[in-house]
Amino acid sequence: MAPAVILLHGDDNVVVCCRTVEAGEHIRVEGADIVAAQRVALGHKLARRDLSTGDKVIKYGASIGSMTADIRAGGWVHMHNMKSDYIGAHLRDAVSG
């Protein structure tokens, strides 16, 4: 079975799913156990630790956005609870066209 997640950089506070992760699945990352709060699809992010509203989301060792809601470790991090600090979500379709 493929590894559940990949940690792209040691400073990251999220990990990326290498396959679909099921709710309740225990995942070991750098010696810490993360429990997936819900089913999360391949390529999506899980919080590596508790994150609060306004916290920067760190992926690749760099900020990719900010949390818009609090989330516990193991929670799904995506556009429903984070925002890009660079492109407004309403503009994504227009610029990615």
pLDDT in tens, 22-44: 999 999 999 999 999 999 999 99
> pTM (2 decimals)?
0.84
Under DSSP, is residue 35 helix (H, G, I), strand (E, B) or coil?
strand
* Degrees, nearest 5: CA angle 50-22-8: 55
Q: Is the pLDDT of residue 94 over 70?
A: no
Q: How far apart are CA 72 and CA 74, in angstroms?
A: 6
What is the residue-averaged pLDDT of the chain? 91
